[in-house]
Amino acid sequence: MKFRETQSIYLQIADFVCEKILLKDWPPGDRIPSVRELAVQLEVNPNTIMKTYELLQQEKIIFNQRGIGFFAANDAIQQATRYRRDWFVEKDLPQVFRSLFLLGMDPEELKPLYLQFKKQMRNKNS
């Protein structure tokens, strides 16, 4: 995973975990990688993963069964969608609007590009 300098690593990992859940790679109710497993996989400090998992527990996306591990919550897809949507509206969308304004673009110009992207994602996940 390549990390961006513009956002804390633990938040980028939270996005990664949410994406795994939303793509159903980590289905609701299933065990997700342990702190150590994910730290090794992403080549980060286990404390960073723990911080991510604590955030995702607060957001009710994952839960911990003591002695067994971490699991995607039964409603993880809905919770991850809510979390990602809130983040997008509060943090990402204002930057998109700023760029559209500065470039003199109309949001309608993005619709064909979005539809093309959506088609590619569907084909990729088929």
Q: What is the CATH number of the domain that holds 47?
A: 1.10.10.10
Q: Where in the sequence is the domain holding 69, given as residue range(s)?
A: 9-76
> Does 126 fall in a domain?
no
The C-alpha R_g of the chain, in whole angstroms, comes to: 17
> Does 40 fall in a domain?
yes
- d(C-alpha 43, C-alpha 98), whole Å: 34
Work out the pLDDT band at 23, boundaries 50, 70, 90.
very high
> Does 48 fall in a domain?
yes
Reply yes or no on whether the pLDDT at 31 is more than 80: yes
Phi/psi of residue 101, nearest 5 degrees: -65, -50
- d(C-alpha 31, C-alpha 12), whole Å: 20
Quote the number of domains for the chain.
1
Our CA angle for 65, 68, 71, nearest 5°, is 55
> Does 117 fall in a domain?
no
- d(C-alpha 53, C-alpha 47), whole Å: 10
Work out the pLDDT band at 19, boundaries 50, 70, 90.
very high
> Does 116 fall in a domain?
no
Global confidence as pTM: 0.85
